Amino acid sequence: MAKVKPFISTGILRLFNRKKLPVIAGHKLLYSCNLKCKMCPFWRRKDEKLLTLEEERMMLRKLSELGVIFMGFEGGEPLLRKDLPEILKESHERFHTSLVTNGLLLKARFNEIKKYLDYLFVSLDGIGETHDEIRGVKGSFNKTLEGIKIAKEEVSLAISTTLTRENLDEAEKIVNLAEELDVLVNFQVAYDYSTADKMSPEKEKLRKVLERLLYLKKEGKPIMNTKEYFEAILNSWYKGVPWTCKPWLTINIDPQGRIVLPCYVLNEYTGSKRIWEIDIKSLWESYDWKKYESCNKCALSCYLEPSIFTWSNFSIVKERIIDGMISIISTSLGF
Ligand code: SF4
Ligand code: SF4
């Protein structure tokens, strides 16, 4: 169970504050990766000069002043950055800190980072060859599994699975694997980025899998997504009843320190102004968020889960707060 830091409850109050301010931050430390996942546009990009440790600190200070509570680091593959322990340490002093990794380097580097993590997400997209095929590197499933087994002993950990047209049949097997390993699994649905392979699942097959996952969730299987997450997608994509998207709750920062607006998906992760150069509060207040409320194009849990949070729904409050499962909204930004 993830530990809940004392400032978390204050941050949660912001989820229903009338003022639009981000509560969650996601930061891509780099685009480079040691895998080549079919649905991913990021490893295909060249990294420009990355932020220095001092610039990372400037970014974290700015986010802290803004009142951000949850900080999620991702990539590319964050463990490729040598200064990752120092960056995580800075973050851990200020925020509930999580990391998304593909797990290949966990065996080599977990000891350096473990004390600075509140939550670790490890991406896994199938069992054995299915995972290797989607992720583009033979043998990666075994290495990732080995990393999960090492890390789960010392940090709260969830498998992060992106549902694609190639692994829908294995969703339940991944739930079973999570149960066997005694970790959680968080699902996302692949989005068709213009610069990656089109891997989003076939619509009718996806509906059946989402219904099944919702059923398994209700049965108490170790699925991190709330049941409302699955219900929101089923209602919107199959019955025309949209959820209200609140992308302003999550701020994303690219490897150059630039803010990605309005969300991760719509501009395909291209930032504009560097975070320490602008007045974010004014930007957030003046930005036209309204037009994105009914977008419903993606099912990234880092946007969808906080968007559907409501104090009037007891099961969400219980799961997120009473059960200390607050980390569910902390990231899994991406894959
Ligand atoms: S999805 Fe993640 S692990 Fe796969 S290539 Fe992209 S950044 Fe790397
Ligand atoms: S639903 Fe639309 S506005 Fe909301 S995060 Fe997804 S792409 Fe962005």
| Domain extent at residue 57 | 8-329
Ligand 2 atom 3: residue of nearest CA: 292
Residue 335 included in any domain:
no
Instruction: Tell which atom from ligand 1 comes closest to the C-alpha of 76.
Output: 7
Is residue 334 assigned to a domain?
no
Write the CATH number for 13: 3.20.20.70
Does the beta carbon of 42 lie inside 6 Å of ligand 1? yes
- Cα separation, 136 vs 148, in Å, equals 19
Question: What is the distance in A from the centroid of ligand 2 to the CA of 248?
Answer: 10
Pairing, β 250-253 against β 24-28: parallel
Query: Pick from 139, 141, 106: which is nearest to 127 by CA?
Result: 141
Residue 174 · residue 126 · CB < 8 Å: yes
Q: Is the CB of 333 under 6 A from ligand 1?
A: no
Q: Looking at the 3D structure of the chain, how many domains does it have?
A: 1
Q: Is residue 305 part of a domain?
A: yes
Quote the ligand 1 centre to 19 CA distance (angstroms): 34
Encode the chain (335 residues) as per-residue pLDDT tens digits: 444 455 555 555 555 566 788 989 999 999 999 999 999 999 999 998 899 999 999 999 999 999 999 999 999 999 999 999 999 999 999 999 999 999 999 999 999 999 999 999 999 999 999 999 999 999 999 999 999 999 999 999 999 999 999 999 999 999 999 999 999 999 999 998 888 989 999 999 999 999 999 999 999 999 999 999 999 999 999 999 999 999 999 999 999 999 999 998 887 667 678 999 999 999 999 999 999 999 999 998 888 888 887 655 555 544 654 444 444 444 344 44
Would 241 be classed as within a structural domain?
yes
Q: What is the residue whose two structure tokens read 């150059």?
A: 256
Distance CA 57, CA 127 (A): 38
Token pair 């079919």 in the structure block, residue: 38
Angle at 94 between CA 93 and CA 99, to 5 degrees: 85
Whole-angstrom distance, CA of residue 222 vs CA of residue 171: 13
Ligand 2: centre distance to CA 161 (Å): 19
- Amino acid identity of residue 31, one-letter, is Y
Q: Which of 32, 47, 101, 102 to mutate to test the pocket of ligand 1 (most atoms within 8 A of CB)?
A: 102
Note whether residue 100 is domain-resident.
Answer: yes
Ligand 1 pocket test target in 28, 33, 124, 333 with most atoms within 8 Å of CB = 33
Cβ atoms of 123 and 101 closer than 8 Å: yes
Q: Is 74 in the pocket of ligand 1 (CB under 6 A)?
A: no
Tell me the whole-structure pTM to 2 decimals.
0.90
